[in-house]
């Protein structure tokens, strides 16, 4: 056996062994006992239960709820207790004047050396327009938090859905490359046998060997793509990155529903769009803020009760002889804002200008969303056209590949014909899978845009 033939045998053995090991690893991944075979709906359900994104959104709802309760607490009385001690360093003096002259030039010291005071004070608003207006904003704040949580869910569902389709695309692409590799291996085996018999040149064998090695490279790259998209899906689902999951199905499984999906989404309505809903809620919140600002011009009325218990002993009095006595007061305080330099007026003007500007901002946002909806719908239609063409091309490419191989075996064709047929099959297969992925990806984005990703 010549040197080149020995190298050819070793190369064939090495490539065959690598591919068998690779396929065995793939098969092992599929049949492991702890592998989770998940559908798209199951992936979404797990993500909604486990993803930190959802927990963060829920925390915001709790935060707003506690903030609302904080505002409501302003309606209840506030009670404070305090204690104080003061020491008289220099007492006041009392003078008795007769005809402008002090009768007692030395004066009489008055007051005590020490003062101990314990105070309990309670206050409650009776009329407080600002507080009432603030409480009225609670419902709007809660609505914003709920809509924000809904937006997080819609975004998460969209991301998980597209990641799931990405795994299916990688798996389907792997099958295309796997079929191409099998064909390349079979062709290389036939050509090698012919080479040994002297029926083909050494160049023909080398070209087939290079083709086989390239096919294996594509296969390994396809496996890496599966691992990468699978890891991305697990990250979005919020599960252990070392867990083994297997998204079930193929992209072609969705082909039968494509026309129905296109009809369902043909009626584009932005009524449930979360961006528009959040914008409208922010406008409503700003309107409430303007109302709140206007209430600062109104008077407020509050009731207070003050109770003191105190003693004022001198240093020569023993503690047990301290005389304690209570005092108490009750009152109502009326506060009327009269003039603050125009600050409240200009603050209200700022809010009014901001509200007017938000009308134009909403119009721009709506037009932008409508443009996105048009583009996504157009992408779905184009993907559908590509899918129909790709499906036919794939069928024709398989026939062309089979015919070229048979023709080459009987000597009626060249290896270049086989190579071209293999390349056409790979391109047709990848294009067909990509067109379905493009349609499903655009569909997911359109559902997100229309707010239909979460029921």
Q: What is the pLDDT of residue 98?
A: 67
Any idea what the CATH number is for the domain that residue 256 is in?
A: 1.20.1600.10
Rg (CA), the chain: 41
Residue 100: predicted pLDDT: 64
Residue 91 has pLDDT above 90, yes or no: no
Dihedral of the CA atoms 376, 377, 383, 385 (nearest 10)? -160
Q: Is the dihedral of CA 199, 219, 17, 29 positive or negative?
A: negative
C-alpha–C-alpha distance, residues 43 and 236, integer Å: 9
Q: Which pLDDT score is estimated for 445? A: 92
Tokens 């993500």 sit at which residue?
47
421, with CB counted inside 10 A (0-12, 13-18, 19+), is: buried
pLDDT at res. 180: 87
Six token digits for residue 404: 């070229």
pLDDT of amino acid 453: 59
**% residues pLDDT > 70 (the chain):** 90
Alpha carbon distance 166, 266 (integer Å): 24
Per-residue pLDDT tens for 280-299? 999 999 999 999 999 989 99
Domain membership of residue 227 (yes or no) is yes
Confidence of residue 78 (pLDDT cuts 50, 70, 90): very high
Question: Could you read off the pLDDT of 204-232 as tens digits, one per residue?
Answer: 888 888 888 988 998 999 999 999 999 99
* 292 and 384 co-located in one domain: yes
What is the pLDDT, as a whole number, of residue 26? Answer: 43
Instruction: Give the tokens for residue 182.
Output: 């099998």
As beta bridge partners, residue 87 has 114
Per residue in 227-281, pLDDT tens? 999 999 999 999 888 888 899 989 888 888 887 777 777 677 888 899 999 999 9
- Residues 294 and 424 grouped into a single domain: yes
What is the distance of C-alpha 172 from the center of its chain?
Answer: 28
* Domain span including residue 107: 82-127+303-336
Q: What is the pLDDT of residues 184-205, one digit of tens each?
A: 888 888 888 888 888 778 888 8
**Cβ contact 314:114 at 8 Å:** yes
Residues 327 and 430 placed together within one structural domain of the fold: no
The verdict on 364 and 431 lying in the same domain is: yes
**CA pair distance 337, 27, nearest whole angstrom:** 80
User: Average pLDDT, stretch 83-90?
Assistant: 91
Give the pLDDT band of residue 353 (cuts 50, 70, 90). Answer: very high
Helix (H/G/I), strand (E/B), else coil: 314 = coil
Please indicate, yes or no, if residue 407 is contained in any of the structural domains. yes
Q: Among all chains, which residue has been given the structure tokens 């989404």?
A: 265
Domain count, the chain: 2
**Contact of 119 with 199, CB cutoff 8 Å:** no
Are the beta carbons of 88 and 112 closer than 8 angstroms?
yes
Give the whole-angstrom CA distance, residue 15 versus residue 4. 16
Question: CA-to-CA distance for 327 and 115, rounded, in angstroms?
Answer: 14
Is position 275 within any domain? yes
Instruction: Say whether both 256 and 122 belong to one domain.
Output: no
10 Å Cβ neighbour count for 400?
19
Proportion of the chain above pLDDT 90, given as a percent: 42
User: 260 with 217, same domain?
Assistant: yes
Mean pLDDT of 16-44: 58
pLDDT at 441 over 90: yes
Check whether residue 37 and residue 108 sit in a common domain.
Answer: no
If we measure between CA atoms, which residue out of 436, 404, 439 comes closest to residue 176? 436
The C-alpha atoms of residue 433 and residue 174 are separated, in whole angstroms, by 11
Which of 311, 336, 361 is a domain's end point? 336
Does residue 95 surpass a pLDDT of 90? no
Structure tokens at 236: 């979005």
pLDDT value of residue 419: 82
Q: Does 214 lie in the same domain as 102?
A: no
Q: Where are the alpha helices (DSSP H) in 84-137?
A: 129-136
Query: How many alpha carbons lie under 13 Å from residue 100 in its C-beta half-sphere?
Result: 0
C-alpha closest to that of 448 among 166, 253, 161: 161
**Which of 172, 159, 168, 208 has the alpha carbon at shortest distance from 51?**
159
Strand partners, 326: 309
Q: What does the mean pLDDT of the chain come to?
A: 85
Angle between helices 138-196 and 415-450 (to 10 degrees): 170
User: What integer pLDDT is reported at residue 21 of this predicted model?
Assistant: 40
pLDDT at 12: 41
Q: What is the pLDDT of residues 170-188, one digit of tens each?
A: 999 999 999 889 888 888 8
Asked whether residue 332 falls in the same domain as residue 356, the answer is no
- Mean pLDDT is highest, among 341-345, 428-432, 449-453, for 428-432
Q: What is the pLDDT of residue 300?
A: 92
Tell me the C-alpha to C-alpha distance, in Å, between residue 20 and each of 28, 35, 39, 184: 12, 22, 28, 15
Q: Hey, what are 309's tokens?
A: 């218990």
Of the three residues 316, 336, 356, the one that is the final residue of a domain is 336
The residues that bridge with 325 in the sheet, in sequence order, are 310
Query: 329 and 410: one domain?
Result: no
In a domain, 455, yes or no: no
- What pTM was estimated for this model as a whole? 0.77
pLDDT for 28 equals: 36
The stretch 433-449 carries a mean pLDDT of 92
Q: Nearest 5 degrees, angle CA 233-CA 235-CA 236?
A: 65
Instruction: Report the distance separating Cα 276 and Cα 362, nearest Å.
Output: 8
Which one of 320, 336, 352 terminates a domain?
Answer: 336
**Whether residue 323 sits in one domain with residue 216:** no
- Same structural domain, 164 and 88: no
Residue 183 belongs to some domain of the structure: yes
- Structural contact between residues 348 and 286, judged by C-beta atoms closer than 8 angstroms: no
């Amino acid at each position: 056996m010549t040197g080149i033939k020995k190298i050819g045998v070793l190369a064939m053995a090495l490539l065959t062994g690598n591919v068998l090991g690779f396929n065995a690893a793939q098969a092992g991944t599929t049949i492991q006992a702890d592998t989770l075979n998940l559908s798209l709906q199951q992936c979404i359900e797990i993500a909604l239960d486990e993803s930190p994104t959802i927990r963060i959104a829920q925390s915001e709802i709790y935060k707003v709820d506690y903030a609302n309760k904080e505002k409501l607490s302003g309606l209840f009385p506030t009670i404070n207790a305090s204690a104080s001690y003061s020491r008289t360093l220099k007492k006041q003096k009392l003078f008795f004047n007769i005809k402008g002259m002090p009768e007692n030039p030395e004066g009489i010291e008055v007051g005590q050396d020490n003062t101990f005071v314990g105070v309990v004070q309670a206050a409650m608003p009776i009329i407080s327009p600002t507080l009432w207006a603030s409480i009225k904003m609670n419902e709007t704040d809660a609505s914003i938090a709920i809509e924000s949580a809904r937006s997080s869910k819609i975004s998460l569902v969209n991301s998980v859905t597209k990641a799931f389709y990405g795994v299916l695309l990688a798996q389907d692409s792997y099958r295309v490359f796997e079929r191409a590799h099998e064909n390349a291996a079979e062709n290389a085996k036939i050509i090698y046998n012919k080479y040994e018999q002297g029926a083909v040149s050494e160049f023909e064998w080398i070209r087939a060997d290079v083709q086989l090695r390239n096919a294996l490279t594509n296969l390994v790259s396809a496996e890496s793509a599966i691992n990468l998209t699978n890891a991305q899906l697990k990250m979005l689902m919020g599960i252990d990155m070392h867990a083994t999951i297997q998204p079930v199905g193929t992209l072609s499984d969705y082909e039968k529903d494509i026309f129905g999906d296109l009809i369902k989404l043909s009626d584009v309505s932005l009524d449930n769009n979360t961006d528009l809903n959040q914008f409208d809620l922010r406008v409503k919140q700003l309107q409430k803020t303007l109302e709140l600002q206007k209430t600062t011009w109104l008077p407020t009325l509050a009731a207070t009760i003050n109770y003191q218990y105190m003693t004022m002993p001198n240093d020569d009095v023993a503690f047990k002889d301290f005389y304690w006595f209570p005092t108490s007061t009750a009152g109502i305080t009326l506060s009327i804002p009269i003039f603050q330099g125009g600050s409240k007026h200009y603050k209200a003007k700022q809010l009014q200008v901001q509200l007017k500007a938000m009308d134009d901002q909403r119009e721009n946002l709506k037009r932008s969303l409508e443009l996105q909806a048009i583009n996504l719908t157009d992408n779905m239609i184009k993907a559908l056209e590509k899918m129909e063409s790709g499906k036919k091309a794939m069928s024709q490419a398989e026939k062309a590949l089979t015919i070229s191989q048979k023709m080459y075996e009987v000597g009626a064709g060249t290896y270049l014909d086989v190579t071209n047929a293999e390349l056409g099959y790979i391109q047709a297969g990848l294009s067909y899978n990509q067109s379905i992925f493009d349609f499903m990806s655009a569909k997911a984005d359109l559902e997100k845009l229309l707010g239909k990703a979460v029921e």
